[in-house]
A and B are shown apart, each in its own frame.
Chain A
Amino acid sequence: MNETLRLTSTLTIICILSAVALSFVYESMNPIIEENKNNRLMAALKEVVPLADNFEEARDIEKFEGIEFIFKGLKDNRIIGYAILSEASGYGGDIKILTGINIEVEITGIKIMEHLETPGLGARIEEREFLDQFTMGVDAVTEATKPNIDAITGATVSSTAVISTVRELIGSIDIEIK
């Protein structure tokens, strides 16, 4: 009995000490971590809707499946575009795609926020060479028969995931916003 008590109390004390220490570390680091996250998001929003000078989360627009959030891009307090974060399922896991559109529903920018694709293959969906194809005009993406976008060699699954998700998004957002 005494033995059991000693074992339990040792472990309990260690766990309490560790929890206390960690909560201090968390308290001091968390604001910086949150700020980093926010800065990263703002930079990304600015990248996909370059003309906007301010962003505001659009809570009034109904989000359909696969969409995580929508931000309104504002310039002089007028909406000039939207940035939409949608999720695609890639080869290694979910791919989070931030798509920027203007009010004519033309893609103004696109950025991969998170992915778990294979380095050197699927991970190349992050590269401009692939992503710039999307901003060449809405036709490239929504072409009726087949999107006019070249997939990355050796990474068809990852490329197709991005292409079809953006295509679907552009197709459905058209109705939602107009």
Chain B
Amino acid sequence: MPQPIKDFMKGLWKQNPALRLILGMCPTLAVTNMAVNGLAMGLATLFVLVASGIIISLVRNLIPSKVRIPCYIVVIASFVTVADYFLAAFFSDMHKVLGIYLPLVVVNCIILGRMEAFASKNPLLNSIADAFGMGIGFTWALVLLGSVREFFGFGTVFGLTLLGSWYPGMLVMKLPTGAFITLGLMIALMNIINERIKPSGAQ
């Protein structure tokens, strides 16, 4: 497999940021009470990852290593601000829902982590592949987490009513506690799947 494809694939499962690296827990736990919120947060993070990855990979040889972290933060914060304005202008309802968690993408350790560990050391194409892999990996984890919580908490998924109005809604799933429980179960399930596929020599 060519290197960029490998870089892309690893974020999806093997090094999934939310489920394997356990990074970016603040947005993961806080905004996933509904599937659509998880999707929006995932996509915003994906955008910032890719855009910052491109810039940082391009200037990686120009930045002295002593000031690299402040430089990365400035680049990341700029793109987060762009995403913030964009959502406020074109998806203002979603912007209201994500609230404080959107500006906090700046300090999401997935982004700084990928810049430091990957984009600052690898060529452009690989960095873009890595950013997309990590971003999509983060997004699907958040959407799944949000869907499970929305299903048990509200009886709906993506606003679609699956359980009728008789369903009272499980309060714990609407609160952050539900996110911890669901995330734990998802990681456990992932470990079981990994155990199963290991003997067959996959990967």
By a beta-carbon cutoff of 8 Å, the part of chain A in contact with chain B is 3, 6-7, 10-11, 14-15, 18, 21-22, 25-26, 29-30, 32-33, 36-37, 40, 116, 118-121, 154
Contacts and interface: CB of A to CB of B under 8 A. Distances in A.
B33 A119 contact: yes
Contacts of A18: 74-75, 77-78
Contacts of A3: 64
Given A120-B153, A120-B171, A11 B67 contact: yes
Nearest to B59: A14
Contacts of B62: 10
Contacts of A25: 81-82, 85
Contacts, number: 62
A6 B64 contact: yes
Interface size class of B (residues with CB under 8 A): 20 to 34
B67 A120 contact: no
Contacts of A10: 62-64, 67, 71
Interface of B: 33, 62-64, 66-67, 70-71, 74-75, 77-78, 81-82, 85-86, 88-90, 92, 99, 153-154, 169, 171, 174-175
A138 B11 CA distance: 59
A11 B71 contact: yes
A36 B33 contact: no
Contacts of A15: 74
Given A7-B64, A10-B62, A120 B74 contact: no
B175 A14 contact: no
B64 A22 contact: no
B171 to A, nearest CB: 6
A118 B154 CA distance: 14
A114 to B, nearest CB: 8
Nearest to A123: B174
B175 A29 contact: no
Contacts of B175: 118-120
A118 B174 CA distance: 9
Interface centre among A10, A14, A154 (most CB of B within 10 A): A14
